[in-house]
Structure 1
């Protein structure tokens, strides 16, 4: 049994809030094209585009009772999708900046190169202590020849759209471990 397509957004959101899977399905069917079009307009990489779409739907689940005018749900979703795309741009810019800062200078002294080698060794020790799935993600995405998100998703069983957020959480976890090791003096 399906929800009639004439059902208003107000009723659909109330039904979805009550756990009605058919109501969620109807909402997604009605607005999937809109959300996808907004995300595509930002020309994100495929994995980031999937992340933006998933985050948009997640925001609706999280804030379904905060939608002031359910009949303008399309506008709410379009705005949310746009904000999620911009958030992904900001996150990726920060990662690129961090990665560029980590590129070694070829004119560094021997001592600097030893410190760099020690840093790399400590980072891989931290990565090796991650849970197996997290370790696989880090090793596959940061290898000399990284595999595509699709290949990593298949190897780990994680949906492709979840790899970006998983990667960000893992990087943060490794960074915190590394920083806490510096404080402790390990």
Structure 2
């Protein structure tokens, strides 16, 4: 059965997480990926990784216009299996927490929350101030998962790519997408 996953990319630092996530999802034959990327996300992707948005187009099933709040992703009748916002800017977190659906990423997140579909926000900003934390609490109370991309070291990563992949795999597992990767097996 084909799974339908929405991926939002915003202008926060951490474009490498988005790229690795899309590569992992693209390697799965049973996942249809719907991508929304903000204009700031496009700039950050180019600034951090030196790549342009068209490189991502080949890794996804459908690219949606960030400004089109009338898109199918803006409706609960368009069934999805979850959403990941990778990376998630503080602006996007704030808009989601306060119901300000002024772009398609935030509107699709709002739909995920109202339809009780899983949504993971890889919030990229630190340190957090009280407003950030309150917005994270608000989204968590609504059913969202706040997942700042913090590397784990128990699997003894040998590269930045292994650290990023471990984080991305963990986020995918939160949407019940099983992919091979290290798991904690206890001491």
Flag whether TM exceeds 0.5 (same fold): no
For the pair shown, which has the larger CA radius of gyration, 1 or 2? 1
**TM band (smaller chain):** under 0.3
Q: TM-score, with normalisation over the residues of structure 2?
A: 0.22
Structure having the larger proportion of residues in helix: 1
